[in-house]
Structure 1
Amino acid sequence: MGFWILSALVVGLILSAIIGADITARKNRKQPKIERIGEVVDKRVNWTEGSSSKTFYITCEFENNERKEISVSDDKYGLFVVGDKIKVTSQGTWNWTERIIT
């Protein structure tokens, strides 16, 4: 009896995570895409001690002096250098970054 309750709980948690992710994606798709040009002013890695999990961030500053910290993949993190010009495209909670080569 306990096995079935535990199984139902696990399935329920998985389904709620999938449904929550789908709701967030739908909301993001309805938002307008906003493209801005900025400059990389800082980089950092968030690493939890005792874990192999790392999250990579760049901080960019836009023309209006607004700063925004953006999570990037580890392969993109190595491409950005402080001082680089970048294009940041935002749509809801999603962010895409692209290095501008001049």
Structure 2
Amino acid sequence: MFEGEDFIFTFGPIFIGISFVVVISILLFSIIKGVTQWNKNNNSPKLNVKAKAITKRTKVSGGREHSSYSNYFVTFEVESGDRLEFEVKDTEYGMIVEGDNGELSFQGTRYQGFIRSK
């Protein structure tokens, strides 16, 4: 036998086992984090506050050989001066213009809507 074969047969299964544990740990952490945030949002009060749309941005993922998709975000400034960024649907994104004033509805980190004032 070659000297390298002992190393591969000894540490190969250990490396594969460690990799499996790391991947499962990351997956479990992501699931627990998502469920925790979902529960926190459900237990948060629904708030309606006066706000101004400050800025909009998009995040495009995918592309090249795969189809791409976009996430849409709007940053609002409330009366206290705090800024909150929410992911919004594409239809809402198109209807909000930077500088719009109105009433922002949200629950925790969950965007509920924005009604522009006249």
Structure 1, 22-31 or 74-83: larger mean CA deviation: 74-83
Scaled by the length of structure 1, the TM-score of the pair is 0.65
Q: Percent identity?
A: 24
Do structure 1's residue 79 and structure 2's residue 95 form an aligned pair? yes
Could you give the per-residue CA deviations for residues 20-62 of structure 1, whole angstroms, max 9, x where no partner exists? 2111211221121111132223334578xxxx88764433333
CA distance in 1, matches of 2:36, 2:82: 28
Scaled by the length of structure 2, the TM-score of the pair is 0.59
Residue 84 of structure 2 corresponds to which residue in structure 1?
69
RMSD: 3.1
| 1:1-80 equivalences in 2 (<5 Å) | 1=13, 2-45=15-58, 56-62=72-78, 64-73=79-88, 75=90, 76-80=92-96
Closer, same or farther: CA 41–27 of 1 in aligned 2, 3 Å: closer
Is this contact kept in 2: 1:40–1:58, CA < 8 A? Answer: yes
CA distance in 2, matches of 1:32, 1:100: 22
Structure 1, 67-76 or 9-18: larger mean CA deviation: 67-76
Q: Which has the larger radius of gyration?
A: 2
Long gaps (5+) in structure 2: 1-12, 61-67
Is this contact kept in 2: 1:38–1:60, CA < 8 A? Answer: yes
Higher normalized helix content (fraction of residues): 2
Closer, same or farther: CA 9–68 of 1 in aligned 2, 3 Å: same
